[in-house]
A and B are shown apart, each in its own frame.
Chain A
């Protein structure tokens, strides 16, 4: 063994060199867990800071605004005409209320809501099948949104264009509530539990 080799061996086993490994590990974990999610999602504000809790108190339940049509299809996000039923004129002086009247109701322009739960176009999802037939509660998928006082920032995945609420609230993909993720695995998990068919065409028509 040459002198040079001796030196190399000493250096390789030196605790100082291990530090570089640990630093690299730490930096990449920081990037992966903390910086990457911030870069991946752009933050968008909803057009109006809508309070679900006020409306829920006034209307009674979710279905007052998010109702099923006569043909069984689900209305989804209310259209401006639903808002006009109560907000034809400003109710109070809240700046958000003024915004609603001036920007949307008076010019009769639909409000461009950003939909947290919008699924990809390739997914066929029927509210009628889940809510009416499967008797799922709204919060099973949508969480406690009905109790919120403010709308949360809409985070859009810069690559896919979909909402962070579908997948990524927890960047590790961990979930503690059923409404934390709305990805295919989550649909499949529930379908599996309830013995619903798992065939592709159940959701992908």
Chain B
């Protein structure tokens, strides 16, 4: 019996039939499906949390200055989820999108895993791993050498913030070393603190009592787009919405673009970009003209409302004369594009409302507003007498903590500290300002720097005018970054001393901007450090101990003991509750006076004169609308570019998490293409349709974008999302869209010197 062709076919037929009746094909098919669910080793790997006992660690989120309480769910030493802490006075269980995705900062791919020393050219990305002791020794040797050469004052530090123990440690390091050049990255809080100092005479933050306000006049503040302490404002907004339904509250959003905040407000006032101060003064005009102001406060507790005569007999202009003369609704209507009748109506509503409140700081408040613009908006609060009142504004002092021993200053330190700041802050040029980052790259620095320490800041990404920033930083011969991540600035450093991330370290969190009560939060390590990193405070202490001549000022063993000592009696509460709130705080009564030169609330900032501004023009001391002159001409750049700030895209020194990028619509980012919003009328005029690829040009730079037609943006305005366009970090973050800061230049506020560019001139050409 031979098999033969026929026999073979019969065999195959039999085998086929048999296989069908065996589990083999069915099981293989099923297993293949299961296998495909558990792919491993692909670029996107689904993280699988470990199995085990769960425990919750409480801390405070420091990804933004909001100060929310967080509860981190852990399985063993692995953090698996971040939630808001129930009962926390700021967020009461709520959490924002950046906070909830915060594990990315800890476990994401762009961590700097050990101290690095540059091996190739700057920015080339070639690094050599070195030990902590070698890094500290090399850096302190360099610092000691600069100090010996008599150039101590040419060492500067850029910090992401200027309140709290970590920035204080950097200031101490510089003071003991002999440099006045501590620079904090600017924000609208800078302007607000300056304005408050001048108008109320206090070194404090502006506290907005949002929870109790019932008529909110927001001058472009992204109340639900990340302004202030975001979750706190979301909650306040929910309360306003509930009250608004009953006719008991109203939110008026003054903004050139229909943002989320504008869309959820009761009224949207689409103003011409950058003219908010004019509108505020127009409202003041109506309030004054119709005698709608709070007579008790304005007459008995304010200075500079009426004209006044100085000791030499010279008569000075008061707010009343100024607004009545210069800011009639018709004039203001011409500037702002808001009709005169609407201006009158808003002014009347504002004064009639129970607990009205004017809020300022555009978007998230990441760019300072002009000093006189702040004064104009803040003056509205004074006119309705809500200063230090429930539902109003107040000067919020810092929570008192134990003072540190005085800095030991040797001769070199004294000599260095007597030098003017290189950014001219506090000098005759800008007498009231504390630090001016933008002077570094606008080329107006008083002298060149020889070394720079950077912590909690990413100026290569967050500062306007990237080319100028890069040039300025690249000209500094020695840069040390303390970044936990390989961000744009760390990429250009000479040394990276990686600090612990927020979930790996202790840190005090001072009262967040805009909060209505003094509070201090404690950020705590919830997991052991993932990599060979250190607490930035410990690094500074180590540098202090090993740099020649300054060790006496750094007697602490480590940062933790320093923090404990600083918090003193509050430490136990901080550890137990995660925060310490000043329960005894209440805003000062009007009758107890203000700490200004006149002892009153000042519409006319006499403090400016005292500080050294020798102007004979009264307008320089009053709230005023001074158009911000953007670079470029309207012929070459017929459009105006403004940024879009949202909570969905983090745009500060803490980078966006890719999880957030996934939440934006494909009219913001599609693949790697960023969309700019254009009004359909503008689009028609420039031959653009939905999705058209166009070149966005500004005097600062250019970028390839796509057009998104949106009626919620004023004609003639182009709006670009912030928080995209990273060139550093990992593959999930870099190369996605365009960094808005690259195409926005700087504009200097004439009084404060701060960069107040709220946008740029621009052109958009289809390509």
Asked if A12 lies at the interface with its beta carbon under 8 angstroms from chain B, I say yes
Q: Which of A1-48 contact B (CB under 8 A)?
A: 11-12, 16-29, 31-33, 36-37, 40
B46 proximity list for chain A (CB < 8 A): 121
Asked if A133 lies at the interface with its beta carbon under 8 angstroms from chain B, I say no
* Complex Cα–Cα for A162 and B27 (A): 13
A69-77, A101-109, A146-154, A194-202: which lies at the interface: A69-77
Structural contact, A20 and B10, CB atoms closer than 8 A: yes
B7, B18, B31: most-surrounded residue (chain A CB, <10 A): B18
Structural contact, B10 and A33, CB atoms closer than 8 A: no
8 contacts between A and B (CB under 8 A): A20-B14, A28-B22, A31-B22, A32-B19, A76-B51, A120-B34, A157-B31, A159-B32
Chain B 1-40 interface mask (CB, 8 Å, partner A; 1/0): 1010011101111111111011110011011101101100
Enumerate chain B interface residues (CB-CB to A < 8 A). Answer: 1, 3, 6-8, 10-19, 21-24, 27-28, 30-32, 34-35, 37-38, 46, 48, 51-54
B10 proximity list for chain A (CB < 8 A): 17-18, 20-21, 24
A73 proximity list for chain B (CB < 8 A): 53-54
Q: A22-B14, A120-B37 are in contact. List 5 more A-B contacts (CB 8 A).
A: A12-B6, A21-B11, A23-B11, A24-B16, A24-B17
Nearest first, the 6 closest Cβ-Cβ pairs linking A and B are A32-B22, A24-B14, A28-B18, A24-B15, A21-B14, A25-B14
B12, B21, B23, B52: most-surrounded residue (chain A CB, <10 A): B23
- Give the dominant DSSP class at B's interface: helix
Q: Which of A157-179 contact B (CB under 8 A)?
A: 157, 159-162, 167-168, 171-173
Structural contact, B18 and A25, CB atoms closer than 8 A: yes
A173 with B14: in contact, given A12-B6, A159-B31 (CB under 8 Å)?
no
* Complex Cα–Cα for A168 and B51 (A): 25
Chain B min CB distance to A49 (Å): 24
B3 proximity list for chain A (CB < 8 A): 20
Structural contact, B18 and A162, CB atoms closer than 8 A: no
* Complex Cα–Cα for A12 and B5 (A): 11
Structural contact, B18 and A26, CB atoms closer than 8 A: yes
* Complex Cα–Cα for A17 and B32 (A): 36
Structural contact, B19 and A159, CB atoms closer than 8 A: no
Chain B min CB distance to A51 (Å): 24
Chain B min CB distance to A73 (Å): 6
Structural contact, A20 and B11, CB atoms closer than 8 A: yes
Structural contact, B18 and A32, CB atoms closer than 8 A: yes
Structural contact, A28 and B14, CB atoms closer than 8 A: yes
Asked if A86 lies at the interface with its beta carbon under 8 angstroms from chain B, I say no
Asked if A58 lies at the interface with its beta carbon under 8 angstroms from chain B, I say no
* Complex Cα–Cα for A21 and B3 (A): 11
Q: Which of A22, A32, A121 is close to B23, meaning CB atoms less than 8 Å apart?
A: A32
Chain A 114-144 interface mask (CB, 8 Å, partner B; 1/0): 0000001110000000000000000000000
Chain A min CB distance to B307 (Å): 69
* Complex Cα–Cα for A21 and B12 (A): 7
Structural contact, B11 and A16, CB atoms closer than 8 A: no
A172 with B23: in contact, given A17-B6, A24-B13, A121-B46 (CB under 8 Å)?
yes
B3, B7, B48: most-surrounded residue (chain A CB, <10 A): B7
Among residues of A, the one whose C-beta sits closest to the C-beta of B8 is A20
Structural contact, A17 and B16, CB atoms closer than 8 A: no
Structural contact, A122 and B37, CB atoms closer than 8 A: yes
Among residues of B, the one whose C-beta sits closest to the C-beta of A18 is B10
Among residues of A, the one whose C-beta sits closest to the C-beta of B53 is A69
A31 with B35: in contact, given A25-B15, A71-B54 (CB under 8 Å)?
no
* Complex Cα–Cα for A73 and B53 (A): 8
Structural contact, A28 and B16, CB atoms closer than 8 A: yes
A160 proximity list for chain B (CB < 8 A): 31, 34-35, 38
* Complex Cα–Cα for A40 and B38 (A): 17
Chain A min CB distance to B15 (Å): 4
Chain A 62-96 interface mask (CB, 8 Å, partner B; 1/0): 00000001010101100100000000000000000
Chain B min CB distance to A23 (Å): 6
B8, B24, B28, B46: most-surrounded residue (chain A CB, <10 A): B24
Chain B min CB distance to A78 (Å): 12
Structural contact, B22 and A173, CB atoms closer than 8 A: no
Chain B min CB distance to A39 (Å): 10
